[in-house]
Amino acid sequence: MARHHSSASPAVDAPAGSVGGRFVAALLFRSLRPEQWTKNLIVFAGLLFGLQLFDVDAVLRALAAFAVFCALSGVVYVVNDIMDRDADRRHPLKARRPIASGALSPVVAGAAAAALTVGGMAAAFALGRNFGLVALTYLVLQTLYSGPLKHIVILDVLTIAVGFVLRAAAGAVAVAVPISHWLLIVTVLLALFLALSKRRHELVLLAGEAAQHRPILGEYSPYLLDQMISVVTASTLVAYIFYCISPETVQKFGTDLLGLTIPFPLYGIFRYLYLVHRREGGGSPSQMLLNDRPLLMCVGLWVAAVVVIVYVRPFGV
């Protein structure tokens, strides 16, 4: 059953200063959704797989790229919250967001987003013209998602997936390393897996009122999403396996041991599916990653295994 949110949230936009004891800066920071910034960790893929992990200059450039995408993704969240504030007020969870609740004025939020956009893009082009162009493409695409694209079935989740690919590509551009096509394929498939799982969670959470909260949800069904998730799950694992055992990868890293890391994404995806189907998770991939210890440990062990195999090259291979 869908849960109805109480009418405690104001029906009109209240001035930000009307909230006693709450600072506008704190509300703005919350609207940037820092808990979602873990999605930008994909920026470091180029650093890790480009054999630049111990290059200080590359690490600093990757950190700068991560900061830029945290800023730009925050801008996208603010724009999305401004555009969707009326619909969010009818959502059992989104109604608590500062803009939807009326705690933060859309005018103040919009001005802050504009300032952050200018600063973020200036920093992006300071890192290099190509990086700036990728960052600009990401910002434009995700802003379009906040507008018309999220109302077009299938294109909505594909847009989210492309956003992750642009993050990964930007990370590689920032440190001037090529990135494997297989890794880009894995990235887009994994992002699709997460986006489809989130759609399924929304459908289950909102039940019969799903389409009223977000019209595009009326185009999906749990069965359809389960079919899509099954296809994407298998494709993600196959693509990662091909990447690990491909001659290009073996030649690049000088070892064929990367295949030993395959159990980690296998367990991670299965664990995520378990949380989606048995624990009603999937609404926020970032929160699931941070709050589920087995999943967090799996990701940590995968990173550690990749570092050891790629950089240390155990057994002299």
Q: What CATH number does residue 28 fall under?
A: 1.10.357.140
Report the pLDDT value the prediction gives residue 307, as an integer from 0 to 100: 94
Residues 6+ apart with CB under 8 A from 257: 309, 313, 314, 315, 317
Domain boundary among 115, 149, 179: 179
Q: Which of 114, 148, 179 is the last residue of a domain?
A: 179
User: For residue 276, which amino acid is it?
Assistant: V
Q: Report pLDDT for 19.
A: 42
Q: What is the pLDDT, as a whole number, of residue 219?
A: 86
Boundary of a domain, candidates 122, 154, 179: 179
Reported pTM: 0.84
268 in a structural domain = yes
Is the same domain home to 34 and 79?
yes
C-alpha closest to that of 122 among 135, 138, 137:
135
Q: What 3 state SS string does the chain have?
A: CCCCCCCCCCCCCCCHHHCCCCCHHHHHHHHCCHHHHHHHHHHHHHHHHCCCCCCHHHHHHHHHHHHHHHHHHHHHHHHHHHHCHHHHCCCCCHHHCHHHHCCCCHHHHHHHHHHHHHHHHHHHHHCCHHHHHHHHHHHHHHHHHHCCHHHCCCHHHHHHHHHHHHHHHHHHHHCCCCCCHHHHHHHHHHHHHHHHHHHHHHHHHHHHHHHHHCHHHHHCCHHHHHHHHHHHHHHHHHHHHHHHHCHHHHHHHCCCHHHHHCHHHHHHHHHHHHHHHHCCCCCCHHHHHHHCHHHHHHHHHHHHHHHHHHHHCHHHC
Considering the domain boundaries, does residue 211 fall inside one?
yes
> What domain count does the chain have?
2
Evaluate whether residue 185 is within a structural domain: yes
In a domain, 129, yes or no: yes
Would 307 be classed as within a structural domain?
A: yes
Residue 19 within a domain: no
pLDDT of residue 23: 76
Q: Let me know whether 265 and 304 are in one domain.
A: yes
Q: What distance in Å separates the CA atoms of residue 137 and residue 127, rounded to the nearest whole number?
A: 15
Whether residue 225 sits in one domain with residue 244: yes
18 in any annotated domain: no
Q: Give me the residues of the chain with pLDDT under 50, please.
A: 1-21
In a domain, 13, yes or no: no
- pLDDT tens column, 124-139: 999 999 999 999 999 9
For residues 36 and 88, membership in a common domain is answered with yes
CA dist 312 and 317 (Å) reads 10
pLDDT value at position 210? 63
Judge if 184 and 172 occupy the same domain: no
Assess whether 42 and 94 both reside in one domain: yes
Do residues 149 and 206 both lie within one domain?
no
Closest to 139 in 3D by CA, of 117, 158, 168:
117
237 and 98 both lie in a single domain: no
What pLDDT score does 168 carry? 94
Give the pLDDT confidence score for residue 25 in this predicted structure: 85
Same-domain pairing of 235 and 251: yes
Instruction: Identify the pLDDT of residue 308.
Output: 94
Q: 106 with 190, same domain?
A: no
Range of the domain at 208: 180-317
Residues 104-134 as b or e (16 or more Cβ within 10 Å = b): bbbebbeebbeebbeebbebbeebbeebbeb
Q: In terms of domains, do 64 and 145 share one?
A: yes
State whether 167 and 193 are in the same domain.
no
